[in-house]
Structure 1
């Protein structure tokens, strides 16, 4: 594990590159004027803020290992040079969501926030359960035991989110505890326009299928099967998010959704969660 001694942080993914990609990699979509979804290989991160030089903005999740330069570049194109975010918010700590967090903290010197239950996985104290290569699913699921599983250590650079649901530097937004995929997984919601950043609580691509990951074929589904350890909690989290009636949604994987397509898709996912999302078999499946 590489030690970044200057910052007192540990980054097990330093100088590593995961050879995984999709047709959306390197592209961005302005879901709303202040909500920009950027696809880093196979995972989405979100830049929240109006794209005016000097305006404040926040980064939600930090993408794949070895891609910090891309994220800095897209941020500078959107907000101007020397315009770091006010903070980094993590929906959870899996490798594809914290792949560049140490690099970005070192460059920008900004604080990181996550749910209290996720902090042990972000301070080097606990590693997540091993990905389940035996779970029902496609080739990505079979390859999942090869994914990085050592925790990053952000030390004092990561802080628990406020208990009142507010999010530092994100006025009008609130965090919602959506466990199942991980113990401290969160989603972010803005009541004013019913915008939702769901993380991996639910996704819009069948993430265990290599073909669908590469082509990004749209399919509203539950969290990635090979890394989800509590399916009862995952189901309740999807119900909780569907009850918000979001008007626009960005997920950790797949295309953003909005309007009627989102509303009908969420209703169907809630009704069919057991058959659509929960695998027929796997290490973490209890029937």
Structure 2
């Protein structure tokens, strides 16, 4: 492994999965979502030019390479890896992928300290109400990955490298530098964890992928005011299609109705009744 890059010392395989694990969905001809255990990676583009959005769970690099080669052909390589944020389940295979493909990584400038080994994320909060996944979260890695000079800030003008037609939208709350990607022409939204389409705290719902719009995963979200403002911002884009970091893609009237409901009832649906990051206790 490149000496310049390393994972946090707490990075390890997490034994939790869903019935969707290993399944890919062609959402659009140039938008493909694939589930790795409990999290989604997204391939954006065509065989001529494509990127990878997010990098899966710890130990998932071989699966990601296999998914990509199955879709685009043996030896295919993305132009870049784009990160919605740097939590362990979105960067779990990233070092091996960088070494395999030798491609750049882009993230929001406020996320860079968590991707260059400087700052750990706040520890997950297993006390938030929810089910077994919330309780398991105390075992989730929160130390930063160190990507050295391989990670670069997204351009200030809102454009997304190698994703023509897309703009990045700053959607903090879940993490300081969380971003979502939006394409105005067909109103396609790659959400990350700004909102999700499964109650990520409940093991039964994670396993069965029961579709239910919710705010960002509670156990890792430490700024609920910013998280609410981010959902309102994304709702204002009037997306026709949303590919989220957790859960199944949602589109059309179902998305419109559910996202409107999430905005109206954010405090009831998304924000936990108790927890160390609620009511400004810790930020």
- Normalising by the residue count of structure 2, what TM-score does the alignment of the two structures yield? 0.97
1:108 paired residue among 96, 101, 106: 101
Contact 1:14 1:66 in 2 (8 A): no
Q: Distance in 1 between matches of 2:231 and 2:115?
A: 24
Change (3 A) 1:42 1:13: farther
What does the per-residue CA deviation read over 1:33-87, in whole Å, with 9 as the maximum and x for residues that have no partner? 000000000000100012x4xx110000000011111110010011111211000
**Residue of structure 2 equivalent to 1:21:** 17
2:137 paired residue among 118, 137, 144: 144
Q: Give the Å deviation of 1:25.
A: 0.0
Q: Distance in 2 between matches of 1:14 and 1:233?
A: 28
**Residue of structure 2 equivalent to 1:123:** 116
Q: Distance in 2 between matches of 1:134 and 1:274?
A: 18
CA-based RMSD of the aligned residues comes to 1.2
Q: Distance in 1 between matches of 2:262 and 2:55?
A: 27
Alignment of 1:171-210 (within 5 A): 171-210=164-203
Which shifted more, 136-145 or 90-99? 136-145
Q: Distance in 1 between matches of 2:9 and 2:201?
A: 22
Give unpaired runs (5+ residues) of structure 1: none
Q: Does 2:32 correspond to 1:36?
A: yes
**Residue of structure 2 equivalent to 1:275:** 268
Q: Does 2:247 correspond to 1:254?
A: yes
**Residue of structure 2 equivalent to 1:159:** 152
Q: Give the Å deviation of 1:135.
A: 1.2
SS of alignment partner, residue 55 of structure 2: coil
Contact 1:7 1:106 in 2 (8 A): no
1:61 paired residue among 54, 62, 79: 54
Q: Give the Å deviation of 1:14.
A: 9.4
SS of alignment partner, residue 76 of structure 1: helix
Contact 1:15 1:66 in 2 (8 A): no
- Normalising by the residue count of structure 1, what TM-score does the alignment of the two structures yield? 0.95
- Number of aligned residue pairs: give it: 280
Q: Give the Å deviation of 1:12.
A: 2.9
Q: Distance in 2 between matches of 1:254 and 1:15?
A: 23
Q: Distance in 2 between matches of 1:13 and 1:79?
A: 34
1:220 paired residue among 186, 210, 213: 213
2:71 paired residue among 64, 71, 78: 78
